[in-house]
């Protein structure tokens, strides 16, 4: 069943108005008609509704709420991805796939070895596009939220928000002793680990200077195994393993 997101002001009583680009998708792509069912999620509350189309007009699709859907697709574990800024085609793939597996928030991070150059004006347009990719992926994977893609930050800004997380795991190819598997075993012993940050370097990896800065935050440095993973793969591997080991059934 197709899924769409709306805001609070689009819900009035037992009716929901779908507006904007979603109208074209409903009418011309899915070819839905009056009486067809669809799922609508309030992106501000996470509440899901089974709805039936009442009116299918050019400027608005009006739906009637049939019932609230109580089941959730969201994990009990909140993971934020701090992604060292890669080439932009890779960033789009990273956002799409990490949204699908359940990441809650994505921070593009400018690092020493970031190759791409981007000014403030271009950055704003990129973030807007990345957010749209997150929304499309959230619809496809039936998420109950649209993961937020933040503005591009630097390492200092990462340090400023590090206290929000119970633990921050850094994928580091030169880490020889601590593995992700070992760290997850330790985290499973702690019942209140809900907010996890994971840090992935860009194509060239995380510099030694940046590693020293991250050490000041008491981050956990982990190896992802014997093989070196691409930047677009590493975050997916980390998040998937964390969800598998730590999230509640």
pTM of the model: 0.89
Neighbours of 17 (CB within 10 A): 16
pLDDT over threshold 70, residue 249: no
Q: 80 near 103, Cβ under 8 Å?
A: yes
pLDDT over threshold 70, residue 159: yes
What is the pLDDT of the chain when averaged over all its residues?
A: 92
Residues 185 and 249: their CA atoms lie apart, in Å, by: 18
Q: b/e string for 52-74 if b means 16 or more Cβ within 10 A?
A: ebeebeeeebbbeeeeebeeebe
pLDDT digits (tens, 9 = 90+) for 166-217: 999 999 988 888 999 999 988 888 777 889 999 999 998 999 999 999 998 8
pLDDT at 188: 85
HSE, side-chain direction, 13 A CA sphere, residue 23: 13
Domains and CATH numbers, the chain: 3-69 (2.40.240.20), 78-246 (3.40.1280.10)
pLDDT digits (tens, 9 = 90+) for 112-127: 988 888 887 889 999 9
pLDDT digits (tens, 9 = 90+) for 77-107: 999 999 999 987 899 999 999 999 999 999 9
pLDDT at 227: 86
Residues 64 and 155: their CA atoms lie apart, in Å, by: 47
Percent pLDDT > 90 in the chain is 73
């Amino acid at each position: 069943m197709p899924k769409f997101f709306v805001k609070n002001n689009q819900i009035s009583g037992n009716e929901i108005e779908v507006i904007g680009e979603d109208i074209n998708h409903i009418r011309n792509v899915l070819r839905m008609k009056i009486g067809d069912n669809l799922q609508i999620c309030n992106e501000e509350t996470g509440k899901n509704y089974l709805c039936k189309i009442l009116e299918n007009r050019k400027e608005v699709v009006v739906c009637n709420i049939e019932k609230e859907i109580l089941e959730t697709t969201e994990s009990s574990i909140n993971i934020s991805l701090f992604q060292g800024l890669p080439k932009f085609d890779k960033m789009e793939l990273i956002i799409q796939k990490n949204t699908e597996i359940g990441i809650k928030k994505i921070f593009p991070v400018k690092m020493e070895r970031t190759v791409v150059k981007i000014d403030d004006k271009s950055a704003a347009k990129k973030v807007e596009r990345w957010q749209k990719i997150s929304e499309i992926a959230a619809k496809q994977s039936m998420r109950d939220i649209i993961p937020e893609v933040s503005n591009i930050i630097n390492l200092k800004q990462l340090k400023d928000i590090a206290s929000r997380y119970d633990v921050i795991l850094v994928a580091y190819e030169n880490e020889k002793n601590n593995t992700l598997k070992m760290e997850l075993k330790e985290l499973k012993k702690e019942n209140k680990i809900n907010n996890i940050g994971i840090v992935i370097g860009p194509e060239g990896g995380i510099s030694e200077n940046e590693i020293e800065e991250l050490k000041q935050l008491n981050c956990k440095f982990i190896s992802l195994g014997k093989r070196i993973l691409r930047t677009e793969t590493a975050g997916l591997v980390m998040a998937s393993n964390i969800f598998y080991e730590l999230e509640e059934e």
